[in-house]
Structure 1
Amino acid sequence: MNDARYPNISAIDNRLAELENEKQRLLALREALRSAQNERSVQTFTPEQKVALFRQRFRGREDIFANRWQNQQGRSGYSVACDNEWVNGVCNKPRIKCQDCSHRKFSELNERIIYRHLAGHQVVGLYPLLKDNTCYLLAADFDKGCWQE
């Protein structure tokens, strides 16, 4: 069957071998490119750089922040951090509420607090609305099933 309409089987085999070689070359090239891309995208930061990056991305009031708490019944929430909280002779909790306390001294959000938060030692919340009613970020909460409503 040497008809021009029917290609030679050996020619097909040769072409398939060429295509297989080309495929292997392209796969190797793709893997090399992925490796190079991953090497560039992985960047290590010092703890100080991580704190600075976090503070740059999540900016809010620095004169105040909130601590997360959980009581014995399992209720949890956030309360303004106070330097005098539970200090003997100064803090009168639970007899006097924090909002009515004359010894209230709000804690500042600083590098040490951010580091403790990032390290998982303390859960804090920031106050995004600044004193001049501006803010740097917008947060959206999508954890409930009805978030699309």
Structure 2
Amino acid sequence: MAYNLVVEDDSQKIKKSYDEAAKEIACLEERLAEINKERDLLLKDITHLRSELGSLQDEGNAVCHTSSPISSEPFRVEGSDKLLPIVPCKHLAPERIELFQNLFRGREDVYAKLWSSKRSGKEGYSPDCKHEWTQGICAKPKVKCAECPNREFLLLTEETIKHHGVASGKNRSMI
């Protein structure tokens, strides 16, 4: 008789466990449906914003297409047969250069350049010199820049800022 009770208890446990699992599955499916709805809304937003980017590009404004976490493939603007590439900016609009100059105001008679030593691994910034490593003028490494009589700092120009804005990695070492 005790044996039958155990069997009944096990079947009830199994039944209860089955019901709990079914409820949990239903909850997870409901949650997944909500997530899918949100995903669809986000994809619509992305499509809309890409469409705006396409029309801004058509107007001649400086627009950068950055790589998307979803895909690095070119994308098609909805309602258009145009395929827009995702590429880094090749230029900066004059307005962006002016904004940079206003936000990061400093000396205009000189700017710093990143240097690194392959031998020691040290890195640092020092003023960019017009004659740096120029044979016959620059006496590096015998004479330090601070003691050089031929030292001539380069001016901070829009071209320098433009290069800083579009360069990447080690090429972005100025300013």
Question: How much does 1:56 deviate?
Answer: 1.8
The residue aligned with 1:98 is 145
Higher helix fraction: Structure 1 or Structure 2?
A: 2
Q: Is the 8 A contact 2:92 2:166 kept in 1?
A: no
Dislocated runs of 4+, deviation >4 Å: 41-44
TM-aligned CA deviation for residue 123 of structure 1: 1.6
Identity %: 33
Shift of 1:38: 5.5
User: Structure with the greater relative contact order (CA < 8 A, sep ≥ 6): 1 or 2?
Assistant: 1
Counterpart for residue 112 of structure 1: 159
TM-score normalized by structure 1?
A: 0.53
After superposition, give the CA deviation of every residue in 1:41-71 in whole Å (9 maximum; x if it has no partner). Answer: 9774362322222112111110011100111
Unaligned runs of 5+ in 2: 1-40, 63-90
> Match of 1:51?
97
Structure 1 residues without counterparts, runs of 5 or longer = 1-29, 126-149
* CA deviation map 1:94-136 (0-9, x unaligned): 10111111100011110111111111233223xxxxxxxxxxx
Are 1:123 and 2:173 counterparts? yes
RMSD: 2.9
Once residues 94 and 76 of structure 1 are traced to their aligned partners in structure 2, the CA distance between those partners, rounded to angstroms, is 16
SS in 2 for 1:79: strand
